[in-house]
Amino acid sequence: MNTIVKQNEKLSISNNLLEVNKYHSRINEYQDFPEPVDLKFPFIDSNIDKGKELSIEIGGYRAILKEMSQPSLSTDVFHLTTGIGELMVKVRVIATIPTTCNPLDGIACVGEAEAWIFGESETITRINIHGAVKDTVTTTCQFGPYDISVTRGRELIYSDYSSNTVNIVRDGKTETLITQPREWIPWRLSCTRSRDILIHVYKGSGPQTKNKIIRYQGQNIKEEICNDGRGNPIFKDGFNSLFMSENNTGDVCISDVNADTVVVVNKTGRVRFRYDGTPARREISFGPRGIVTDALSQIIVTDTNNDCLHILDQNGQFMKCVDDCGLVKPLGLSLDSEGRLWSGLYGTGEIKVIEYLQNK
């Protein structure tokens, strides 16, 4: 049968008309399956030792499986399973959550219906979409943490400028994760899809403050984002923070508050483009702050000066301005695992949960 199949394959692409005309199907000869025969099944054996390798043998074949870190239920799952499509013509606010943080400095979603929030106190609070407090963490930060983020394993991390550390909360206990050199102080944080941590660090004070972003893999520095290929600084000097998010493309998207510009840097550290808010045609100058990237690789950034959100595609093309959902001084921004935006309002302490993508 294998021989005939190979002959037929050659015949199907042959230009020899005579051979094609002579072809005679032999399917009738093989349409009856032979009577059951005595088959010897290969043995199967496995060796499972917790914490070690898993070996499986089937007949003469042997495979080794190595334990990898367990993926968390994160936005990666959301990217693969939901039927999200294009932007809604009119966005929908599905919840307005009051908080006790006034001002509300930052927000980091946990799963589909909860988020950590912080203000200018020592406490970081986890609330649900109904505003109920689910957990609290008391830090030793003198005037509160500088920023917070959530790892792929749903662990809370926060920056403490007084100790120059980034700390992680595990099983209710706080541990030091990263210690910065004394001259560089950690400020804004972002956990990436590749499980790295991006940290905005600064040194100096006033208009001459130097800024850069360090990518940590564990406790090791993997990359520093500060200069372009020609030695010119990517970020403007000044004592304002850099908000950042890593896109699906590997680009790092940054709100440079000192320059009132969104800067997008590729994997090699080169600037791909800058966005200054001009295409949105707002009356007041662009005031970028919180920034996220979604499952469609779109870039969403808050504009505190114009009480709105700007949505760009991955190449910096302006797509839409969200200004019809009661945003007042939006600062923090986060995405939950359902693909909804949680926008923290700096002055009122409220959170707007916004649905902006429609199902396919």
Among 3.30.70.3040, 2.120.10.30, 3.30.450.20, 3.10.20.30, what is the CATH number of 75-359?
Answer: 2.120.10.30
pLDDT of amino acid 51:
57
Token pair belonging to 348:
């009122």
pLDDT of amino acid 3:
84
Within 8 A by CB and 6+ apart from 293, the residues are 245, 246, 247, 248, 253, 299, 300, 314
Q: Cite the residue boundaries of each domain of the chain with CATH code 2.120.10.30.
A: 75-359
What percentage of the chain carries pLDDT values higher than 90?
68
Residues in the chain, how many? Answer: 360
pLDDT of amino acid 72:
39
Q: Where are the alpha helices (DSSP H) in the chain?
A: 2-12, 17-22, 27-30, 75-81
d(CA 332, CA 49): 46
Q: How many CB atoms lie within 10 A of CB 187?
A: 19
Q: What is the pTM of this model?
A: 0.76
Q: With 50 as the cut, is the pLDDT of residue 71 above it?
A: no
pLDDT of amino acid 44:
65
Task: Return mean pLDDT, the chain.
Answer: 88
pLDDT of amino acid 82:
41
- Residue 308 bridge partners (DSSP): 303
From the number of C-beta atoms within 10 Å of its C-beta (0-12, 13-18, 19+), residue 190 rates as: buried
Q: With 70 as the cut, is the pLDDT of residue 83 above it?
A: no
DSSP calls for 97-132: E--S-SS--EEEEETTTEEEEE-SSSEEEEEETTS-
pLDDT of amino acid 81:
36
Q: 94, 96, 103: which is closest to 121 by C-alpha?
A: 103
pLDDT of amino acid 67:
57
Q: With 90 as the cut, is the pLDDT of residue 349 above it?
A: yes
Supply the DSSP symbol for 34.
Answer: P
pLDDT of amino acid 360:
54
The terminus-to-terminus CA distance of the chain in angstroms comes to 47
Indicate the SS3 state at residue 223. Answer: strand
Give 123-179 pLDDT, tens digit per residue. 999 999 999 999 999 999 988 899 999 999 999 999 999 899 999 999 889 999 999
Give the CA distances from residue 129 to residues 261, 316, 339, in Å, rounded to whole numbers and listed in that order.
31, 31, 14
d(CA 287, CA 327): 14
